[in-house]
Chains A and B, each alone.
Chain A
Amino acid sequence: KQEVTQIPAALSVPEGENLVLNCSFTDSAIYNLQWFRQDPGKGLTSLLLIQSSQREQTSGRLNASLDKSSGRSTLYIAASQPGDSATYLCAVRDTGNQFYFGTGTSLTVIP
């Protein structure tokens, strides 16, 4: 069974810093990997989707990379802002129809 791990569980940084969130998964046979953000008490918002054949995706200040063979993905956030404070979740879809989520990294950006 696929297991998804996110490190660190919590992160606090001053505004303006660049930061990296990590996601690892145990089974490299995936269709895609997706990064989400979740604000307290709310649903998830999709940030970036990387297909298994891709190495990275970019959207604004966000860049996500995928190294399928080593079972790793990173989410890079440039010039962090207080509005980036949220929990960030990664999820992998396997070659069937299953989705596996990590427990998330809770990010706080201090003004």
Chain B
Amino acid sequence: ETGVTQTPRHLVMGMTNKKSLKCEQHLGHNAMYWYKQSAKKPLELMFVYNFKEQTENNSVPSRFSPECPNSSHLFLHLHTLQPEDSALYLCASSPGGLAGRETQYFGPGTRLLVL
């Protein structure tokens, strides 16, 4: 496979469940991102990892827990979510390093529904 892949593509979970979203990039990039896309709202940047180190956490509730074991993989662990967390969760990657010259490449997203 090439590019950025995300699994699962669709997920339905109850508020008491624990689940994880997975993102994998095959582009040799060093920066990875989690975004949330809700209906009628702009994409919201959640987390940024650069060379496996978390560099941004935009006031995301603790029920979302990211993990970046290496530059190619990024996880988003979900626990005790709320119905308003239902959204499309997008992963992206970019080369990393030099700022201002990076194109982000996005995965297809995971459509999450919290019941």
Residue positions of A touching B, CB distance < 8 A: 4, 31-32, 34, 36, 41-46, 49, 51-52, 89, 91, 93, 97-103
| A-B residue pairs in contact (CB < 8 Å), sample of 17 | A31-B99, A36-B106, A43-B4, A52-B100, A89-B43, A93-B100, A93-B102, A97-B50, A97-B56, A97-B99, A98-B45, A99-B33, A99-B43, A100-B42, A101-B42, A101-B43, A103-B41
Q: A98 vs B43: C-alpha distance in the bound complex, in angstroms? A: 12
In the bound complex, residues from chain A placing their C-beta under 8 Å from that of B102 are: 32, 49, 93
Known A46-B104, A93-B99; further 14 A-B contacts with Cβ < 8 A: A32-B102, A41-B109, A41-B111, A43-B92, A43-B108, A44-B104, A45-B106, A49-B103, A51-B100, A89-B43, A97-B50, A98-B45, A99-B43, A99-B104
Q: A91-B43, A97-B48, A102-B42 are in contact. Are A32 and B101 (CB under 8 A)?
A: yes
From the candidates A32, A42, A100, name the one contacting B108 in the complex (CB within 8 A): A42
How many residues in B have their beta carbons less than 8 Å from beta carbons of A? 28
**Count of A-B residue pairs with CB < 8 Å:** 62
Do the beta carbons of A43 and B100 come within 8 Å of each other? no
In the bound complex, residues from chain B placing their C-beta under 8 Å from that of A101 are: 42-43
In the bound complex, residues from chain A placing their C-beta under 8 Å from that of B33 are: 99
From the candidates B42, B45, B90, B101, name the one contacting A103 in the complex (CB within 8 A): B42
Residue interface bits B82-115, CB-to-A below 8 A is 1, else 0: 0000001010100000011111111111010000
Q: A91 vs B44: C-alpha distance in the bound complex, in angstroms? A: 11
Q: A82 vs B48: C-alpha distance in the bound complex, in angstroms? A: 35
- Which of B88, B103, B105 has the most C-beta atoms of chain A within 10 angstroms of its own C-beta? B103
Q: A101 vs B38: C-alpha distance in the bound complex, in angstroms? A: 12
Instruction: Give residues of chain B (2-38) contacting chain A, Cβ–Cβ below 8 Å.
Output: 4, 6, 33
In the bound complex, residues from chain B placing their C-beta under 8 Å from that of A102 are: 42
Do the beta carbons of A51 and B106 come within 8 Å of each other? no
Q: A31-B99, A32-B101, A49-B103 are in contact. Are A97 and B55 (CB under 8 A)?
A: yes
